[in-house]
């Protein structure tokens, strides 16, 4: 039963051999869900703007046991060289989805567990919620489980996920969890990087306890041939804070999907982000923010800079349940198109069942402003530099939303490394 055939249409067939070998109740349930739905096509509403064609036509193998240590070390060194403070952070490193203890550096103060030692799938990321999550559930090998006890200020940790693509199509499906007890705090920097062709399909299950605060910055620096489809589920208790930001720069196709649930009064969530894409890159920022209790606050600002034939997708849904009176929600998506062939597909959605709420949303799309360009050039700034200054300024207003100073410095350093001179500085 529930067998996936290699001759089935659609990308699910590319995982058939591995899927049919899974064991355990949760994985079988996931397999059943997948067998019913398949992987999403553009006929699926939530995937209307993002096609999985980029997965290609070759079957995905599991990552080989062991890895090229010299190659992984070189890639890690390159990532760490971005900013001096990144190299000094506590870090957990995964290579092709599996923990690489020899590359990691974790202080005793942090409780770090691993999925492969005690596989637990969490409660939020139920396999039938999303086929990409079901695929992860069926195939998850490892993952990082961070937990902070009540009242503990646990500082900052980087979770660095390296993909080493090779001749054969390869995919990895790490299952992460972050859990903060009441009053705890933690700052997590998730870095996705890699080279060659691979498919990275992480799922992160987050619980922020009462009055706890989790700052979470995701740096998506996947290799240019990579497909990266990640999903985050966050459940935030009363007076808790989940302050998240995603910077999307890499991958041929990347989707960062966040489901945040404000579960008790006075919880706060930020689902901010920025992406800068070129060539034929597709970058998708999708989110569902659910206000399931009164007096909660959600904030979302996403800025896109799209060049060449790049396409950005923004889908942002804010759901305000009947009980969620005094909700304060704000959502803004803005896109700067640098070329006539660049495209943004923006779909903001407000679904409100409570009657005493304050929710605003907006979207803008435009090219660089001719008046601003002329103003800069009339002051002697060469055109290329003037354009760069305006692009940086546009993104900078999003980067300024990264509240963790170290993470913000690292984001800016990456932008400088990739796109040259930082805006406005001589």
Chain residues that interact with other proteins, rule: CB under 8 A:
370-372, 374-383, 385-386, 389-390, 392-394, 396-397, 423-426
Kindly state the smallest distance separating residue 84's Cβ from other proteins, in Å: 20
Structure tokens belonging to residue 108: 């005793």
Contact 222, 250 (CB under 8 A): yes
Tokens 């402003």 belong to residue: 369
Residue 418: which of 226, 276, 310, 304 has the closest Cα? Answer: 276
Kindly state the smallest distance separating residue 78's Cβ from other proteins, in Å: 29
Question: In degrees rounded to 5, what are phi and psi of residue 255?
Answer: -130, 130
The end-to-end CA distance of the chain, in Å, is 65
Residue 140 vs 386, nearer CB to other proteins: 386
What does the alpha-carbon distance between residue 345 and residue 333 come to, in Å, rounded to a whole number?
Answer: 10
Instruction: Quote the distance between the C-alpha of residue 207 and its chain's center.
Output: 16
Residue 6 vs 421, nearer CB to other proteins: 421
**CA dist 358 → 262, 302, 320 (Å):** 15, 20, 10
Structure tokens belonging to residue 265: 């009064």
Residue 210 vs 392, nearer CB to other proteins: 392
Kindly state the smallest distance separating residue 372's Cβ from other proteins, in Å: 6
Residue 70 vs 426, nearer CB to other proteins: 426
Residue 56 vs 424, nearer CB to other proteins: 424
Instruction: Quote the distance between the C-alpha of residue 87 and its chain's center.
Output: 21
Kindly state the smallest distance separating residue 185's Cβ from other proteins, in Å: 30
Kindly state the smallest distance separating residue 189's Cβ from other proteins, in Å: 24
What does the alpha-carbon distance between residue 69 and residue 71 come to, in Å, rounded to a whole number?
Answer: 5
Kindly state the smallest distance separating residue 314's Cβ from other proteins, in Å: 20
Kindly state the smallest distance separating residue 152's Cβ from other proteins, in Å: 37
> What contacts 9, CB < 8 A, 6 or more positions away?
none
What does the alpha-carbon distance between residue 391 and residue 410 come to, in Å, rounded to a whole number?
Answer: 18
Question: In degrees rounded to 5, what are phi and psi of residue 396?
Answer: -60, -35
**CA dist 356 → 243, 270, 359 (Å):** 24, 21, 10
Residue 43 vs 379, nearer CB to other proteins: 379
Greatest Cα pair distance in the chain: 71
What does the alpha-carbon distance between residue 350 and residue 357 come to, in Å, rounded to a whole number?
Answer: 12
Kindly state the smallest distance separating residue 276's Cβ from other proteins, in Å: 14
Residue 243 vs 396, nearer CB to other proteins: 396
Residue 118 vs 425, nearer CB to other proteins: 425
């Amino acid at each position: 039963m529930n067998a996936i055939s290699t001759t089935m249409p659609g990308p699910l067939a590319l995982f058939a051999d591995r899927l049919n070998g899974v064991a355990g109740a949760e994985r079988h349930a996931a397999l059943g869900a997948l067998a019913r739905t398949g992987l999403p096509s553009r006929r699926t509403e939530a995937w209307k703007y993002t096609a999985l064609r980029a997965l290609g036509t070759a079957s995905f193998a599991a990552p080989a046991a062991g890895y090229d240590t010299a190659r992984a070390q070189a890639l890690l060194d390159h990532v760490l060289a971005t900013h001096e403070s990144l190299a000094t952070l506590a870090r957990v490193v995964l290579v092709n989805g599996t923990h690489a203890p020899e590359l990691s550096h974790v202080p005793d103060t942090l409780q770090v567990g691993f999925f492969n030692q005690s596989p637990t799938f969490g409660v939020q990321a139920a396999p039938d919620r999303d086929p990409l999550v079901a695929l992860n559930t069926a195939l998850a090998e490892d993952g990082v489980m961070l937990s902070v006890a009540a009242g503990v200020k646990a500082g900052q940790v980087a979770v660095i996920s390296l993909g080493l693509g090779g001749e054969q199509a390869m995919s990895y499906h790490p299952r992460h969890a972050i859990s903060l007890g009441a009053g705890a705090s933690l700052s997590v920097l998730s870095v996705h990087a890699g080279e060659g062709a691979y498919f990275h399909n992480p799922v992160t299950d987050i619980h922020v306890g009462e009055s706890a605060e989790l700052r979470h910055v995701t740096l998506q620096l996947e290799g240019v041939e990579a497909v990266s489809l990640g999903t985050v589920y966050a459940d935030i208790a009363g007076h808790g804070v989940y302050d998240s930001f995603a910077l999307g720069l890499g991958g041929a196709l990347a989707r960062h999907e966040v489901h945040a649930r404000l579960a008790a009064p006075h919880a706060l969530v930020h689902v901010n982000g920025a992406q800068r894409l070129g060539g034929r890159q597709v970058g998708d920022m999708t989110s569902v923010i659910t206000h399931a209790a009164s007096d909660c606050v959600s904030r979302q600002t996403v800025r896109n800079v799209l060049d060449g034939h790049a396409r950005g997708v923004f889908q942002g849904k804010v759901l305000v349940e009947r009980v969620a009176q005094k909700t304060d929600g704000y959502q803004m998506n803005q896109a700067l198109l640098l070329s006539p062939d660049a495209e943004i597909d923006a779909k903001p959605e407000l679904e409100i069942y409570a009657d005493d709420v304050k929710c605003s949303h907006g979207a803008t799309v435009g090219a660089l402003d001719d008046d601003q360009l002329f103003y800069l050039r009339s002051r002697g700034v060469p055109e290329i530099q003037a354009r760069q200054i305006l692009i940086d300024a546009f993104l900078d207003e999003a980067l300024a939303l990264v509240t963790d100073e170290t993470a913000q410095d690292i984001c800016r350093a990456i932008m400088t490394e990739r796109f040259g001179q930082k805006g406005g500085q001589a």
